[in-house]
């Protein structure tokens, strides 16, 4: 994943991925415009492995993150020096996710993504639709539908890692590791949708999977105290 070379910037051709346009409007009597991108709606899925109590992440090289680590000065040169800017700068840690570019329900798309990216066969009934929100407010405002699913080791029927040219690594984190991640001073190499998913999990689900420890009360030696870790 981190073998990177021949990095250079070129003008945008007629692109199937990035379709910019201008949105013109009159608000409260004042003419305005806003430049936008046409983007697909998407799904994102928290995958929690209950056999080993670990969260399943996907890790991949993201050109958009890598590019933003390059100084404005160095962005001007024809090619980017990969010894100065190693690929590791652009590696992101994310929830399993995918765009809705097929005529299928969001549940089916989510199911496919969990299998393709993470390797788990999840029944549709195991995918819990939590909410949906706008993936951005600036240049892209598509809807992202957010799911939670619990998986077991027995449901891991494939390798995962994406399809076609995708180079995706499946990464697992324990609950204390998730806490460490969200409490880090940053920069966290993740998008806010991943951080929302982690906080949602910690707030709503984590206690169910934390190990509890019982100790006798230090004072009376009788009463039991339960520690959660």
We find the least distance from the C-beta atom of residue 14 to a copy of itself, in angstroms, to be 10
We find the least distance from the C-beta atom of residue 172 to a copy of itself, in angstroms, to be 20
Kind plus residue range of the DSSP H or E element containing 54: strand 54-61
Choose, by CB under 8 A, the member of 144, 149, 151, 170 that binds a copy of itself.
144
Choose, by CB under 8 A, the member of 45, 49, 54, 61 that binds a copy of itself.
61
Segment interacting with a copy of itself (CB under 8 A) among 21-29, 103-111, 116-124, 155-163: 21-29
Comparison of 74 and 153: residue with beta carbon closer to a copy of itself: 74
Segment interacting with a copy of itself (CB under 8 A) among 102-110, 150-158, 187-195, 215-223: 187-195
Q: Cβ distance 95 to 43 under 8 Å?
A: no
Segment interacting with a copy of itself (CB under 8 A) among 56-64, 116-124, 154-162, 217-225: 56-64
Comparison of 11 and 123: residue with beta carbon closer to a copy of itself: 11
Choose, by CB under 8 A, the member of 71, 83, 125, 184 that binds a copy of itself.
184
Q: Cβ distance 116 to 162 under 8 Å?
A: yes
Counting contacts by CB under 8 A, is residue 27 touching a copy of itself? yes
CA distances from 168 to 41, 58, 94, 121, 162 (A): 21, 6, 10, 17, 6
- The candidate with the shortest Cα–Cα distance to 92, out of 197, 195, 190, 192, is 190
Task: For residues 197 and 215, give the distance between their C-alpha atoms in angstroms, rounded to a whole number.
Answer: 33
Counting contacts by CB under 8 A, is residue 222 touching a copy of itself? no
Give Cβ neighbours of residue 171 (< 8 Å, ≥ 6 apart).
56, 57, 58, 59, 93
Counting contacts by CB under 8 A, is residue 91 touching a copy of itself? no
Choose, by CB under 8 A, the member of 59, 108, 161, 202 that binds a copy of itself.
202
Task: For residues 200 and 126, give the distance between their C-alpha atoms in angstroms, rounded to a whole number.
Answer: 18
Comparison of 64 and 226: residue with beta carbon closer to a copy of itself: 64
Rg (CA), the chain: 22
Choose, by CB under 8 A, the member of 59, 142, 161, 171 that binds a copy of itself.
142
- Torsion angle of the four alpha carbons 93, 99, 104, 107, in this order, in degrees rounded to the nearest 10: 30
């Amino acid at each position: 994943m981190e073998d990177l070379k021949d990095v250079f910037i070129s003008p945008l051709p007629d692109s199937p991925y990035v379709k910019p346009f201008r949105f013109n409007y009159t608000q409260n009597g004042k003419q305005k415009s806003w430049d936008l991108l046409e983007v697909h709606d998407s799904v994102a899925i928290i995958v929690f492995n209950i056999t080993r109590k670990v969260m399943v992440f996907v890790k991949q090289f993201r050109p958009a993150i890598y590019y933003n680590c390059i100084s404005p000065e160095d962005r001007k040169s024809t090619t980017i020096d990969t010894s100065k800017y190693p690929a590791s700068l652009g590696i992101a840690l994310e929830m399993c996710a995918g765009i809705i570019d097929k005529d299928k329900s969001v549940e089916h798309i989510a199911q496919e993504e969990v299998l393709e990216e993470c390797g788990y066969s999840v029944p549709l009934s195991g995918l819990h639709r939590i909410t949906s929100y706008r993936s951005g407010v600036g240049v892209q405002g598509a809807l992202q539908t957010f799911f939670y699913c619990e998986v077991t080791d027995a449901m891991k029927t494939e390798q995962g890692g994406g399809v076609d040219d995708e180079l995706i690594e499946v990464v697992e984190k324990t609950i204390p590791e998730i806490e460490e991640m969200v409490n880090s001073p940053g920069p966290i190499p993740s998008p806010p949708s991943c951080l929302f998913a982690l906080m949602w999990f910690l707030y709503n689900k984590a206690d169910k999977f934390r190990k509890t420890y019982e100790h006798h009360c230090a004072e009376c030696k009788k009463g039991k105290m339960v520690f959660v870790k």
